[in-house]
Amino acid sequence: MRKFALSVLTTATTFCLVVAGSAFGAVDPADKTPPTISNIKVTNKIFKVGTKNTALITNVTSAAKKKKAPIGTKIKFDLLENAYIAIAVFKAVEGRTQGKDCVKPTPELENAKKCARPVFINTMQRIGKPGPNSISFSGRLDGKKLKPGAYGFGVIATDESGNSTPIVLKNFIIVKG
């Protein structure tokens, strides 16, 4: 079993991508080049939660004023090689600045400048193939609806040799509906 520790957004927030066995065959120990992930897009930046749950581990497969918000979204990206994809979901919650950091509000920081701090919710894991990839996201994780509010995806690709891409952040908003 392989375990890749991924630091996301702050040094205090980490999550692990756990992969059982090898999905890509033999490992090249000389491979020191990280996979390339590009053209990451979220199809609907504002959407309603869908009725079906988003799978946490599987293979890969903007609303106007008067229009109804779409249900769910897709995360689309391109890969140059096979890679394990970890998509961390974060909720943006109110925080207070302390130095350069955005921290949990405390009575001592009540007069400090407001900021949005990310709170880790869960991680989706996928196996990406070379070329275009698409991952559906219903707005549900572990059978629970995400509440209306501001959220973000942290996307990272790791090849079989353990080389990782820098994290790519994409924001989205869930609306009532």
Cβ distance 146 to 122 under 8 Å? no
Tokens 């572990």 correspond to 142
**Confidence at residue 14, expressed as pLDDT on a 0 to 100 scale:** 37
What is the Cα–Cα distance from 74 to 55, expressed in whole angstroms? 13
The C-alpha R_g of the chain, in whole angstroms, comes to 18
Q: Is the pLDDT of residue 1 over 50?
A: no
**Confidence at residue 27, expressed as pLDDT on a 0 to 100 scale:** 60
Instruction: Report pLDDT digits (tens) over 99-157.
Output: 999 999 999 998 999 998 989 999 999 999 999 999 999 999 888 899 999 999 999 99
Q: What average pLDDT does the segment 161-167 reach?
A: 90
Beta pairing partners, 61: none
What is the Cα–Cα distance from 43 to 121, expressed in whole angstroms? 21
Instruction: Report pLDDT digits (tens) over 10-67.
Output: 333 333 333 334 455 556 667 778 788 878 888 878 778 877 767 665 655 434 455 6
Q: In the structure, what pLDDT confidence band is assigned to residue 177 with cuts at 50, 70 and 90?
A: confident
Query: Span 35-174: which CATH code?
Result: 2.60.40.2550
Cβ distance 164 to 157 under 8 Å? yes
- Could you tell me which of 97, 103, 177, 93 has the C-alpha nearest to residue 139? 177
Domain ranges of the chain: 35-174
DSSP for 100-116, written as a single string: TEEE---GGGTTSPEEE
**Confidence at residue 37, expressed as pLDDT on a 0 to 100 scale:** 81
Cβ distance 153 to 170 under 8 Å? yes
Instruction: Report pLDDT digits (tens) over 52-109.
Output: 767 665 655 434 455 678 888 999 999 999 999 999 999 999 999 999 999 999 999 9
Give rounded-to-5 percent helix, strand, coil for the chain.
Answer: 0, 55, 45
Q: Return the sign of the alpha-carbon dihedral for residues 19, 151, 115, 104.
A: negative
